[in-house]
Structure 1
């Protein structure tokens, strides 16, 4: 969903990539997330990020979406997919699959 939002919003293009060194810097003092079990993967493009479910890639895309469009944008997009709570506070009912 983060990739779709990034592409549709223009925050990323299909050829957008990141250099995955095994960490993600949240941009706050001493707030670097380490992905020790995944390790560094080098350059990751969208296709590889989806294949590997690459956290640094999708966290970078999420940060770009937030920086370009505000804190609520990804949540609003998730709501369109029937996920989470709308920014108006409404809770979407879960479907009964039984």
Structure 2
């Protein structure tokens, strides 16, 4: 499990691991040195989806409302305050972390 590697995780932080990992991945995909292709593709897609300033504002409002709705659903479900449950994600499917030093020799 994740706690075997990093130690005890306080209650409430279990549900934040996946969103934080996703956010870090998005930041890396957008700002790493080779991400110019990602930015160029995003601009091309945005130019097709929202060719005018007005349509960009409408898309922005729609995405903002969807984000607020998703946040309210997550908060309302109690996922941020509940600790690990039987349905929680098992981050380490093996019985113990691998012993890398002994497996190399």
Q: TM-score interval w.r.t. the shorter chain?
A: under 0.3
Q: TM-score, normalized by length of structure 1? A: 0.24
* Structure 1 or 2: more strand by fraction: 1
Name the structure where helix makes up a greater proportion of residues.
2
Larger RCO of the pair (alpha carbons < 8 Å, separation 6+):
2
